Structure 1
Amino acid sequence: MEKPVHHFTELFEQLGLPADEKSIKDFIERHAPLQDTMQLHEAPFWSEAQAAFIVNALDEDADWAEVVDHLDASLRKI
């Protein structure tokens, strides 16, 4: 069975964040770069629910894992 493919905008919607292109770009610019030693879910700008979603998506290799990895990579760019 194939996993559903989620788009970046859907991840932002799932996290309760504005999901239009400008809002996503602004979010990444405002919060990047994350420290190399900090895991994505540990970033101080997440709510408890958002951090839990990220942990769950990665720990269970859920269908959200790929797009969460994309967000992690985007937040680590300088």
Structure 2
Amino acid sequence: MSDAVPRMTNLFLQLGLDASESAIASFIKAHQLPADVSLLEAPYWSEAQRQFLAEQIKADASWTIVVDQLNESLHEDAVRAQTGI
């Protein structure tokens, strides 16, 4: 899609979302996922966003690390609840 360097801010731009640090933090806080819901199953993605994320994971592309970081961030509350940490 782009030659942008894979960073969280650029991932949010690729997804058509506000890429400011505060907007990213707010998005992650407001969109926490249960442990049994995968990143790609999240109800808030548009089809285009879901497709971009899926393609990056499947291709093991340079974006994969950032997509994985987003996935971990969106499951942070669920992991904390399961582990008690």
Q: Is the radius of gyration larger for structure 1 or structure 2?
A: 2
Q: Distance in 1 between matches of 2:37 and 2:58?
A: 16
Aligned to 2:15: 15
Q: Distance in 2 between matches of 1:39 and 1:75?
A: 10
How far has the Cα of 1:5 moved from its partner? 4.9
Map 1:39-58 to 2 at 5 A. 39-58=38-57
Aligned to 2:61: 62
Aligned to 2:29: 29
Number of aligned positions between the proteins: 74
Q: Distance in 1 between matches of 2:5 and 2:61?
A: 11
SS at match of 2:29: helix
Aligned to 2:72: 73
Q: Distance in 1 between matches of 2:73 and 2:45?
A: 16
TM (normalized to structure 1)?
0.89
Q: Percent identity?
A: 46
Runs of 4+ in 1 over 6 A off after TM superposition: none
Q: Distance in 1 between matches of 2:39 and 2:69?
A: 11
Q: Distance in 2 between matches of 1:7 and 1:65?
A: 10
Which ranges of structure 2 fall in alignment gaps of 5 or more residues?
78-85
How far has the Cα of 1:41 moved from its partner? 1.0
Q: Give the root-mean-square deviation of aligned CA atoms.
A: 1.2
